[in-house]
Structure 1
Amino acid sequence: MEVSVKRIVDAEAQCPYRLVLEHLTSRWGVLVLIELLERSYRFSELRRAVSAYGGRGVSEKMLTQTLQTLERDGLVHRDAKPVIPPRVDYSLTGLGREAAEEVRSLARWTHDRMGQVETARQAYDEARDARSRAS
């Protein structure tokens, strides 16, 4: 455990901006932030909402790690209510809402421009294949 904590501290010291950017744009971080823009969620609700984007759903472990990371960065608020059974709600902080709006804009841009990206990829692959055949 101490080794991983040391590694995190070393990474933060070397380039803290890059580390936060990785948290914001991680596979699950993006989806968590976008979902939490709509409303606060309980853990199981958030897991279902994030998993609805297709592909393999997010595991409990990965969602927990993602939420803890975003909470540590000051983007997500965890509200544990002292009731039985325990109730924990997750929501965005002001900083988290600002970051989530930016991430959502990037996600929209990606969706809107996917056709152009696919065209560029195809042209690149064809040109590369042509160069390979010529060699």
Structure 2
Amino acid sequence: MAKAKPDDSTPEQPTAIGRLAFPPEQRAAFQRMMAEKLEQAARLDKAGKVIDRANAIRDGLIPPPWAEQLLKPASIKTKTKKEGPKERRVKTLARGIWPPDGNPPPELSPGEIIKEIGKACQKGEVVSSRQTILRALGRLPR
């Protein structure tokens, strides 16, 4: 290739040599067009990945996104019920009877536990049900 020789060309009247072949407006338009093509290529690449994933799901190579929720352990799904005011009252009474944590000894029967809690209640106070007392103390499941 021969080297271009400097001449008296201007941007308004370019010559066919090197960078002077196009005026600045055309160069800017060409650069914008190239940037748009790069952006379009990036969008097509991303779309290709999405299509490949959809094909893999269709062919059974990977599980669908909604199936991932089914694969989670069951303990995450279930919510534990908040204890109510009656259970809190039973736990407070139990801490007074069996310090420090309020857990009755394992040798006590459920009937004896209920009697002890009933004795600890003040006059005029409603005693919680058998189930509430035993559930609050961990003797009955939720």
Q: What's the TM-score once normalised by structure 2's chain length?
A: 0.27
User: Between Structure 1 and Structure 2, which shows a larger proportion of strand residues?
Assistant: 1
- Greater CA radius of gyration, 1 or 2? 2
Q: What's the TM-score once normalised by structure 1's chain length?
A: 0.28
User: Between Structure 1 and Structure 2, which shows a larger proportion of helix residues?
Assistant: 1
